[in-house]
Amino acid sequence: MFLLTGTPGVGKSTIADVLAKKGYQVIRAKETVHDYVLEKSDDDTLIDVDSWADTFRPVEGIVEGHFSHFIPGADGVIVLRCNPDVLTSRLRARGYSEEKVHENVEAEILDVILIETLDLYNETQIYEIDVSCASIEEIVIHVEHVLTGHAFPCCGIVDWTGWL
């Protein structure tokens, strides 16, 4: 089982869609959390991520979602990263409020997903990919290299702190 994670807007769902079309089993994390929703509003859903992750049963394939990295026991975690300017544009195009745009871009700059991943996984299990300037096809090829064991783990290669 591999986990595909990253800040909202980095391209997880898009990449997962292409991988699914290529025959990979893809599980959407957000489709498995119904029993763990604590609070729901128009622009946010609060989930008991710890309980969800503790009860998640391993699968053959890829679990995609911005909180999938909390699932223990994966073979590897792919963390997609995106330039804050590019991410800002994507989130605004989705209609996110300025508050949510700021919150998510700040999380990307501060490596929140990567740091959370490092709390549970060793650096030798993490594959950080900067998707800022890559095409969908290039990203998919990189992810497939990870899935087939033809990529080396890499962690800490992206640094957006210059945007602070």
Using CA atoms, how far apart are residues 56 and 121, in angstroms rounded to an integer?
A: 16
Cα 87 from chain centre: 13
Q: What is the CATH number of the domain that holds 71?
A: 3.40.50.300
Q: Per residue in 66-75, pLDDT tens?
A: 999 999 999 9
Helix ranges (DSSP H) in the chain: 12-21, 49-55, 84-93, 98-109, 112-120, 136-147
Are 63 and 6 in contact by the 8 Å Cβ rule? The answer is no
Q: Over 80: is that where the pLDDT of 43 sits?
A: no
Sorted by sequence, the CB contacts under 8 Å of residue 26 that are 6+ apart come out as 16, 17, 19, 20, 61, 62, 63, 64
Using CA atoms, how far apart are residues 88 and 91, in angstroms rounded to an integer?
A: 5
Confidence of residue 79 (pLDDT cuts 50, 70, 90): very high
Q: Per residue in 151-162, pLDDT tens?
A: 999 999 999 988
pTM of the predicted structure, to 2 decimals = 0.95
Q: How many domains are there within the chain?
A: 1
Amino acid identity of 83? N
Q: Per residue in 85-133, pLDDT tens?
A: 999 999 999 999 999 999 999 999 999 999 999 999 999 999 999 999 9
Q: Over 90: is that where the pLDDT of 163 sits?
A: no
Residue 120 is part of which domain span?
2-163
Q: Per residue in 9-32, pLDDT tens?
A: 999 999 999 999 999 999 999 999
Using CA atoms, how far apart are residues 35 and 118, in angstroms rounded to an integer?
A: 27
> In this structure, are strands 76-81 and 2-6 parallel, antiparallel, or unpaired?
parallel
Using CA atoms, how far apart are residues 14 and 136, in angstroms rounded to an integer?
A: 8
